Structure 1
Amino acid sequence: MTPPADAAALLRRLHHDRAPGDALVLPGPWDAASARIFAEAGFPALATPSMGVSLSLGYADGACPAEEMFAAVARIVRAVEVPVTADIERGYGLPPAEIAQRLLGTGAVGCNLEDSVSGRLVETGRQAEFLAAVREALGPGPFLNARVDVYLCGADRPLEEALERCRAYVAAGADGVYPLGAPPGELTALARELEVPVNALARPGGPGPAELAAAGATRVTFGGGLAMRAMEQVRGWAAGLRDD
């Protein structure tokens, strides 16, 4: 396994040493086997999706207990030599110091933390304080990616609020921002206004990594989409086996 400090430094370089229009594409493994497949395909880092991991463990999205999520992330990290960053929702109600301790204990060198609970946005200042506390507990190495859910939660002026939240989160210590669901035009505006990597979500039927990179994304992830596509394949195989 790559030493965590080296993996964290590499993950940072992968975000910053990029030409315009060249995004860091991070597949989302849901277990150790899928992580090895993505790593063997040549991807330089991976980003676990909470949804995909939850489904693989038999839970609905958002219903996986913290212990099982962190254990799954640890298995993924152990299976590959590339850096892994983990989606850990909003920290499962744990205090910032424990979030950092558990994340670092998995070997992951980055995380996503979202700013909504049960479909409602957390007040900006409260979320910024939470991120600042996690940043302090993590130390400077791991890549802290702040998810911004204004598009997901139906804010009245999503671009304006996304910019406000992104700036507050960066000031609190976030290394990157993830305006989930931002359309390409607004993604461009966010990337132009912010000085940190901007993460975009590639969805089936939506803009792909190349289009999102052209719009200004520095990093492209897939959420639980890849896990769901794999499960659809298994569902098709299962139906075929049943009908034979």
Structure 2
Amino acid sequence: MNKAEALRALHLRRSPDDPLVLPGPWDAASARVFADAGFPALATPSAGVAASLGYADGATPPDEMFAAVARIVRAVDVPVSADVEDGYGLPPGELVERLLETGAVGCNLEDSSDGVLKDPREHADWLAEVRSAAAGRLFVNARVDTFLRGVTDPGEAVERAALYVAAGADCVYPIGAPAELLPRLRSDIRGPLNVFARLDGDGPSPGELGALGATRITFGPGLQKWAARALHGMAEELRKR
């Protein structure tokens, strides 16, 4: 079984109390920490990688993002999925080629750009081209940005998810969906459901999200921010010595 097949298999037949938890490494060192801790796969956060490279979220040049993903992949033996935002305007074939060159076996793709939701049918067509070019070599996680962009009607998220699944997406990610809506989203969306988990204690735990319907759990840049806060505390202690 290759790594893309292994990543796909990790999403199948999961029980509600056992969602797939994918930490988000922002560099090679953090990737090694998560892999050594026993996590079976990793999912890079674009915002966390951006912070590690000195950029604001969404401002990382594509070449630097792909290079950072390649360093993360090279550092570990487990499958890695890469958040490449909205695909940077690259044609599907070129996007897939560049992802595969990094060694990544999955990708997270957003359906908004510059804060504006894309036309869902046009985006579904684009996802279908990505899926075709990948030929099974990438696990495609289709992010649905409706809640993030202020559209509170869960029906809009479900409609977009249905289009993306029909286009070949392996997983759907309605980022920002309120926890109370997860049971409905789980019942109305086919296939694995990615849910964002907070690390500040102000929200359900990964296990609780699994019980509500999440197949897999990611944290966005949360772990990188957590580590930065810890490092800030260490720096303050050093100043006192």
Considering the TM-score relative to the shorter chain, is it more than 0.5?
A: yes
Q: Deviations over 1:159-190 (max 9, x none)?
A: 00000000000111101100001112211111
| Displacement after TM superposition at 1:240 (Å) | 2.2
Counterpart pick for 1:46 among 39, 42, 46: 42
Counterpart pick for 1:215 among 204, 212, 223: 212
8 Å CA contact retained: 1:21, 1:216: no
Amino acid at match of 1:222: F
Q: Does 1:146 align with 2:142?
A: yes
1:117 aligned residue: 113
Amino acid at match of 1:241: L
The CA RMSD measured in Å over matched residues stands at 1.1
Query: After alignment, is 233-242 or 48-57 more displaced?
Result: 233-242
Segments of structure 2 that go 5 or more residues without pairing to the other structure are: none
Q: Does 1:92 align with 2:99?
A: no
Amino acid at match of 1:168: L
8 Å CA contact retained: 2:85, 2:109: yes
Amino acid at match of 1:135: R
1:162 aligned residue: 157
Normalising by the residue count of structure 1, what TM-score does the alignment of the two structures yield?
0.95
Change in 2 beyond 3 A, CA 1:139/1:71: same
Q: Does 1:198 align with 2:193?
A: yes
Any idea what SS the aligned residue of 1:59 has? coil
| Displacement after TM superposition at 1:20 (Å) | 2.8
Any idea what SS the aligned residue of 1:152 has? coil
8 Å CA contact retained: 2:165, 2:190: no
The 5 A counterparts of 1:1-244 are: 6-157=2-153, 159-203=154-198, 204=200, 205-244=202-241
Amino acid at match of 1:182: A
8 Å CA contact retained: 1:21, 1:215: no
Structure 1 ranges of 4+ moved more than 3 A: none
Normalising by the residue count of structure 2, what TM-score does the alignment of the two structures yield?
0.96
| Displacement after TM superposition at 1:192 (Å) | 1.1
Segments of structure 1 that go 5 or more residues without pairing to the other structure are: none
Amino acid at match of 1:210: G
> 1:35, 1:153 → 2: CA distance?
30
